[in-house]
Amino acid sequence: MPPIEVMSQPNIAALADHGHTNALYRPNTVSEGNIDGAIDHSFTSAKAPSSAAFPHHMRLRSRRPSKSASIDDASSPQRLSPKRNVILNTRNPVIIWLAKNELHLSLFLLAIAHSCYWAGYEWPSLWIRMQHKSTLADNHAVESHRYVRGVHDIKFVCYWVVQIIAARSILLHHVLPAIPRCLGITNDRRERRFCEMGWSMLYILSSWCIGFRVWQTSPYFMSTQNMYVNYPDDHVVMPYGLKWFYLVQTAFWLSNVYTIHVEERRKDHNEMLAHHVVTITLVLCSYAFHFTRFGHVFMLVMDFPDIFLSAAKMFRYLGYDLLPNALFGVFSVSWVVTKHWLCLKMMISIWTQGTTSVPLEKRYPVYPNSYASYPIVGCLWFVLCLLQVILLYWFYLILKVLQKVLIKGEDADDNRSDDEDVEEEESTVVEDGLDSGIDTSSNCSM
C-alpha cells in the first residue's frame, strides 16, 4: 500500500478562527526556511483601513512584528491584540469615540442651545448669558454690570467647556495644520504636536491679555494690600469682567481634564492630571470664599511662563534650533520669577494680609459672607503647597534641560511632557483604534 499523503486542503477550523483576518492557513507551505515569510504574510494579509478614511489627527503609529515571533504568535487568534488607539494609549471605547466625534458633538450641542435662544426660549439664556446680577444696596450705587455668585454659574461654566472644546477641535484639526504643511513638515507627529502647542499658546495668550486688562482697571492693580481691603463687603460683588474671566478660566481647566485624555499620552500624564485637579480646586475654593481678587492675580502669575513654553515648542516642531533655545531660556527665567518667587509672595500675602487686615468683627464666622480665618486660609495654603510640590518637580526637569543646553551644547528639549525619543521616520497607519493585530504598546508615547 502506498504511503498516505499529508492532507493538503486547508484546515477548516483554522479558517473559521482566522476568518476576520482574511488570511488562508496553509500548513503545507510553511517550512523551517520560510517562517519569517509566513509571519510577514499573516500580517500583510490582514485588512487595515485606508489612510484616506480618517483625518490626519487619527493617524496611529505601528511597528513591524518582531523577527523572534513564532508562527503560533502570528496565527493564534487568542494572541491578537484587541482594538486599541495607539496615540491615546487606551482601549477605552468612550475616549476613542469622543476623540473622533468631539467637534460634531460640541457643535451639535451649541447649535441646539443657540437655536432655542434665538427662537425665544428662556432656558438657553441660563447657559449662554452670565446670571446673578447684583441687587445689593450699599453706600455707593451698585451698577448693573456687577454680579454675585450663584447656582447658575455652573451652567455658564458647562456652556464654555463645550465652546472651548469646539474651538480647540476646529483650530487643532482644521486651521493650524495648514502652517506646518505650508512649511513642508510631513511628519505626522510633529504636525500634531505643533497644533496642540499652537492651541495652547493662542488660548493662554488671549486669556492672559484679557485678564491683565481686567486687572489693570481694578483697584488692586499692583497692590497686594488692596486685594483684601474692605473684605468681604467689596468682594461679594464682582465686576462683569472679573466674573467672566473667572468662570471661563474654570471652564478651561475643566476642559483640560478632558483634553489630556484625548491627546497623545505624555510622560508626565499623572502629574499633569494632578496639576489640573489642584488648580481647579484652588479656583473653586477662592471663588467660594470670596478671594476672587487673589485668585485673579494668581492665575495671571501662573499662566505667564506657559506662553513662552508653547511658543518654544511650536518653533522646535517647525525645525528651528536657535529660536526655541532662546524662548526656552526666557521661559526658564520667567518660571522661577512667577511660579516660585511671586507665588511665594502671594502665599505670604493671603496668610498675613488676608487675615490680619480684616477686622475681628468681619471675620469668619461672625460676619456674613466672610471666610477670613486662619483655618480657611490654611486650607488654601495646603492646596497651594500641593501645587508647589508639582511645580518644584517640573522645575527639576527644567534644570536638567538647561544642563543639556548650557553644558553639553544640545538643543532645548522640554522633557516634562513630551516623549521625543520616538524616531521621526517611524511609519504610521491610519486606523480608528484597530491595530490589525500588531502590538504597538512599546511604541506609544508615554
When pLDDT is averaged across residues 30-58 and rounded to a whole number, the result is 45
Q: What pLDDT digit, counting tens, does each position of 47-61 carry?
A: 444 444 444 444 444
Q: What is the C-alpha to C-alpha distance for residues 371 and 354, in angstroms, rounded to an integer?
A: 10
pLDDT at 99: 85
Residue 430, strand partner residues:
59
Q: What percent of the chain has pLDDT over 90?
A: 49
**Residue 408 or residue 309, greater confidence:** 309
Q: pLDDT tens, 94-105?
A: 888 888 899 999
Question: Average of pLDDT values for 187-205?
Answer: 93
pLDDT band at 417 (very low <50, low <70, confident <90, very high): low
List Cα–Cα distances, 208 to 153, 167, 233, 248, 424, in angstroms: 21, 17, 27, 12, 34
Q: Which tens digits make up the pLDDT trace of 221-269?
A: 999 989 999 998 889 999 999 999 999 999 999 999 999 888 877 888 8
**Phi/psi of residue 21, nearest 5 degrees:** -100, -10
pTM of the model: 0.73
Tell me the chain's radius of gyration from C-alpha atoms.
Answer: 28
| Distance (Å) of CA 271 to CA 242, 277, 394, 405 | 29, 10, 9, 24
Say how many residues make up the chain: 446
Predicted local distance difference test score (pLDDT) of residue 312: 93
pLDDT of 291 > 90? The answer is yes
- More confident: 6 or 316: 316
Query: Which secondary-structure segment (H or E) carries 220?
Result: none
The model's confidence at residue 415, banded by pLDDT at 50, 70 and 90, is low
pLDDT-derived band at 426, boundaries 50, 70, 90: very low
- Point out the least confidently predicted range of 66-70, 161-165, 185-189, 209-213: 66-70
pLDDT of 433 reads 30
Q: What pLDDT, on a 0 to 100 scale, did the predictor assign at position 135? A: 76
User: What pLDDT does 106 receive?
Assistant: 95
The per-residue pLDDT for range 352-401, each reduced to its tens digit, is 888 888 888 888 888 888 888 888 999 999 999 999 999 999 999 999 88
- pLDDT-derived band of residue 69, with 50, 70 and 90 as boundaries? very low
* pLDDT averaged over every residue in the chain: 77
Is it the case that residue 28 has pLDDT exceeding 60?
no
Distance CA 433, CA 381 (A): 43
